[in-house]
Amino acid sequence: MQLTKKLTLASKSKIRAAILSGAGLDFSVQVSGVDEDALKNTHKGAAEALALALAEAKAKATERAAGDGGLIIGADQILECDGVLYDKPDDMEEARHNLKIFRGQTHYLVGAVVLVEDGQTVWSHCGRVALTMRDFSDVFLDAYLATAGEQILSSVGGYQLEGLGAHLFAHIDGDYFSILGLPLLPLLNGLRVHGGLVA
């Protein structure tokens, strides 16, 4: 698709890059280097505000580092279950622990995406997706973790819905791209509105 401005993705996420590539967008990737833990540890308030703050911080840091103009895409995702916010698990034991908490429950993925240009956030979007896990057995959980392996540690929920993680769920209410970490349809509209994509 025809872009009218340089586009940079402020993320090392392979799935976010694959989503943009699949939509036919030409972009570069620059990792922001933002200390996400510092932002998370000092945050007080709703998951939406944190996701937006993280996405904006990544995009603005990337713009300062790149320094060559265009639109910068920043994105982040927070998992919320029973009012508690969860990050990517540090190891497989934490992934197991979290998945036991989530099973049989509905949790929410709160995803934010922003566009930054010339040091300003010119557009932002935040959405919430509800995901209900099956009440799976410990035997299933052990088999899932053994088969899926440590690649699930790169996912905020300890699962990757585009792969074996689909077996964990009973019901999903929301946008598939948002679950993967990049609300694509709102982003494409944002690019059209702000001159990055021919309408």
Q: Please identify every residue annotated as catalytic.
A: 76
Both structure tokens of 198: 């021919």
In a 3-state reduction of DSSP, which class is residue 85? Answer: strand
Both structure tokens of 168: 């964990």
CA distance 95 to 68: 39
H/E stretch holding 121 reads strand 120-133
Which runs of consecutive H residues, i.e. helices, occur in 45-119? 47-66, 92-102
Residue in the block written with tokens 């300062």: 64
83: left (phi over 0), alpha (psi -120 to 50) or beta: left
**Considering only CA atoms, which of 186, 37, 27, 172 is closest in space to residue 114?**
186
CA distance 152 to 88: 9
